[in-house]
Amino acid sequence: MHRVGSASNGNNSTRSRKEKRITYVLNDSDDTKHCAGINCLALLTSAASDGSDYLFTGSRDGRLKRWALAVDRATCSATFESHVDWVNDAVVVGDSTLVSCSSDTTLKTWNALSFGTCTRTLRQHSDYVTCLAAAGKNSNIVASGGLGGEVFIWDIEAALTPVSKCNDATVDESSNGINGSGNVLPLTSLRPINSSNNMSMHTTQTQGYIPIAAKGHKDSVYALAMNESGTILVSGGTEKVVRVWDARSGSKTLKLRGHTDNIRALLLDSSGRYCLSGSSDSMIRLWDIGQQRCVHSYAVHTDSVWALASTPTFSHVYSGGRDFSLYLTDLQTRESSLLCTGEHPILQLALHDDSIWIASTDSSVHRWPAEGYDPQKIFQRGNSFLAGNLSFSRARVSIEGSTPVPVYKEPILTILGTPAIVQHEVLNNKRHVLTKDASGSVKLWEITKGVVIEDYGKVSIPAWFTVDTRLGSLSVHLDTPQCFSAEMYSADLNVVGKPEDDKINLARETLKGLLAHWLRKRKQRMGSPAPANGELLSGKDISSRSLAHSRIEVDGSSENDAMVYPPFEFSVTSPPSIITEGTHGGPWRKKITDLNGTKDEKDFPWWCLDCVLNNRLPPRENTKCSFYLQPCEGSSVQILTQGKLSAPRILRVHKVINYVIEKMVLDKPLDSLSGDGSFAPGLTGSQSQLQAVGDGSFRSGFKPWQKLRPSIEILCNNQVLSPEMSLATVRAYIWKKSDDLVLNYQLLQSR
């Protein structure tokens, strides 16, 4: 769990007194989105609201949001901001009361249909509050559990009943001390309780009533569940047992043993007889509380089970967890089916009509088909399996390569979030902070203004070198063929005198820069110019290795691969040193300015010399990206393309836009045009291959008859792409699939 040092309970803090700090949180420009993982979900359906269905999401960004749900969209209609740490769980009680708990040790109550009004802050926990359970939508009983083994049972109706301010020390005013009408909100008391050996009262509280304390856990609690009537409570955590309580008195009833690891999710049926538990031992267990035993065990997942949701009849269970997968299991027949797989661990589920909402460690929320009204329809599709009894059975099936195929490939709806910042570095001027988010986007912030002053975008260039500091300095390691995987356009490197669309291999130019002095000395010693492009270095080793390994696999164009760009310039006042070895002898180290030209193929790696002297690169991973270009659904604009297209991975989206525009405005396809890195549609039923516009063919302005330039935007996965994004970036951060990339285009307006 995430811990914030400034969020401790002041009443129970043992730290020495010190002045309080001020913290300001810099929000993203789109404040309607969450910017961290979603820990919890809660639904308020039209029957209990104002006629609309609402989804409440609680996030690690410390905020809750209310989403008005329509068939094909979700709109953020309110943000609930008062917690100062992660929101860990939330439940809806009564007609319009939202209760949330947080790592700031508090529970908060909200008017669920307001614009974010916090009506009460409840303080009783001494550590993180991790989970909540409610006793049905028409009850006011809520249980809370947290670290340290604390479990409390609250009467929310009593907590919201105004009483004299001096009677209670456990309930605070709303976050700003004023209710929605502008009146000061009085403090309240909780309902009184009878004495019991299993109930404890915090001695630090000197006035008023406190909630029922269900005392018995010796360690942290991570899961709670309650039946509809609010009479039975079950809890679980790091003790690996399910504890059953009388929720009316807080007394212990029994323990259910069987799990071998932490219990992370619990469900009770409406009567309170049957209980489902999910554990970090990867097992789901069905318990008969009346018989005090486990009646079924389900080995479905290959890793921890963190989330459970059941059908209203408690006949089927949906489960998700650390293995990124959502399963449906028939509790009677043990038949299971993999519904979908994602890219992040699943934290909570919410069944909504015929679909299910999934919250994960990502900042986005997804709605997937679930056949909630008739789950048997999913099993009728096939690809189901029988859940095993042993926790390793599903893992063994996965290892043997018999992993089930997901029933669904795409969610029905996605509520997009903003990627969370995962790395930061404070710069030396102590005003700027460099950040990297979960999507790989790098930004520079000015904290005295709270704004982004430079957005460097997502990292789309592959890692072509490694670095260490073992020698007290930066040591940069180049290994073949990986070092030759990174390319950039000459325009991006500010190489003057070259077409902006010429590609430059970073490793090749770096090697030429490092060995520039050696090349000059070698030329002087040999009394002749350095070998021209394509001329092999003399020597049997280098010749044979070159012939065997120098196939051009960069762009399918040997002419482009033979081009020599001006070398990257290294300092001669503080020159770097080279450490390497050749075919004879051991490793050696020299400054680049001390190389006198005598070093040859016995001293350098063959691939290095082949690159520098012959301008050739070894075979390596394909640097092209295959994709399909299709009109958006309902678009009136269509262009003629023949099947699959292919382009360099570093191709920018604005080149794709240009390609679409040229196909629209020219009278005939540009079959005769080609250029470096041009699009190359794949073979589609014939052996001919169309060379179309792409990398470098749209450099000049429009002809007189082409002055009306249409405005086109490119989308991927329903996201509008920045023109500066490369295909590699789109594939890695937007598409996120192994299949060929699919891009869509649409006309915005004429200009």
Structure tokens of 522? 């070698």
Predicted confidence (pLDDT) at residue 534 exceeds the cutoff of 60 = no
Q: Please indicate, yes or no, if residue 719 is contained in any of the structural domains.
A: yes
Grade residue 33 by pLDDT with cuts at 50, 70 and 90. very high
Shared domain for 507 and 653, answered yes or no, is: no
Per-residue pLDDT, 292 = 93
The DSSP result for 135-164, as a single string, is S-TT--EEEEEEGGG-EEEEEHHHHTSB--
Q: What pLDDT is recorded for position 16?
A: 60
Same domain (yes/no): 484, 426? yes
Structure tokens at 587: 């490793």
**H or E segment to which residue 656 belongs:** helix 653-665
- Are 652 and 507 part of one and the same domain? no
Lowest mean pLDDT among 114-118, 291-295, 598-602: 598-602
Q: Does 371 fall in a domain?
A: no
- Reported as a single tens digit per residue, the pLDDT across 689-721 is 333 333 333 333 444 444 456 788 899 888 888
> Is residue 388 assigned to a domain?
no
Confidence at 541, pLDDT banded by 50, 70, 90: very low
Lowest average pLDDT, out of 176-190, 403-417, 481-495, goes to 176-190
Query: In terms of Cα–Cα distance, which of 537, 541, 678, 666 is closest to 613?
Result: 537
User: In this predicted model, which residue has the larger pLDDT, 501 or 289?
Assistant: 289
Output the pLDDT for position 498. 73
What pTM, to 2 d.p., does this model score? Answer: 0.73
Residue 684 and residue 666 in contact, taking contact as beta carbons nearer than 8 Å: no
Tokens of 268: 């009770």
Q: What is the pLDDT of residue 565?
A: 59
Q: Looking at residue 620, what is its pLDDT?
A: 67
- Residue 667, pLDDT > 80, answer no
Torsion sign, CA atoms 131, 137, 139, 140: positive
751 near 709, Cβ under 8 Å?
Answer: yes
pLDDT at residue 613 greater than cutoff 50: yes
Do both 657 and 574 map to the same domain? Answer: no
Please name the residues in contact with 181: beta carbons below 8 A apart, sequence gap of 6 or more: none
Bridge-based pairing of strands 335-341 and 355-360 is unpaired
Alpha-carbon distance 339 to 730, whole Å? 26
For the chain, the straight-line distance linking the first and the last C-alpha, in angstroms and rounded, comes to 53
Question: Do 587 and 644 sit in the same domain of this protein?
Answer: no
More confident position, 750 or 516: 516
**What is the domain count for the chain?**
2
Counting residues of the chain whose pLDDT is more than 70, the rounded percentage is 76
**pLDDT of the residue at 138:** 61
Report pLDDT digits (tens) over 53-107: 999 999 999 999 999 999 889 999 999 999 999 999 999 998 889 999 999 999 9
Do 608 and 646 fall within a single domain? no
Of 579, 678, 675, 682, whose CA–CA distance to 626 is shortest?
Answer: 682
Residue 294 β-bridge partners? 287
In this structure, the answer to whether residues 576 and 636 fall within a common structural domain is no
Q: What pLDDT shows up at residue 664?
A: 72
Residue 108 confidence class, pLDDT cut points 50, 70, 90: very high
pLDDT at position 661 is 82
Answer yes or no: do 427 and 507 share one domain: yes
Residue 583 inside a domain? The answer is yes
Taking residues 520-540, report their average pLDDT: 58
For residue 481, say if its preceding peptide bond is cis, omega within 30 degrees of 0: yes
> The domain spanning residue 725 has which CATH number?
3.10.20.90
Q: What is the mean pLDDT of residues 561-569?
A: 53
- Sign of the CA dihedral running 665, 667, 673, 678: positive
Same domain, 482 and 631: no
Higher-confidence residue: 681 or 594? 594
Do the domain assignments include residue 460?
yes
pLDDT of residue 585: 72
- Domain membership of residue 609 as a residue range: 421-524+564-614
Please identify, among 614, 636, 655, the residue that sits at the C-terminal boundary of a domain.
614
Whether 171 is covered by a domain: the verdict is: no
SS3 content of the chain, % helix, strand, coil (to 5): 15, 35, 50
Query: Do both 598 and 647 map to the same domain?
Result: no
Domain shared by 506 and 597, yes or no = yes
Are 636 and 570 contained in the same domain?
Answer: no
Q: Is residue 29 part of a domain?
A: no
Residues 6+ apart with CB under 8 A from 351: 309, 310, 311, 318, 357, 370, 372
Closest CA to 715 of 652, 658, 655, 630: 630
Compare 653 and 190 and report the one with higher pLDDT: 653
Residue 123 lies in a domain: no
Structure tokens, 311: 């059908």
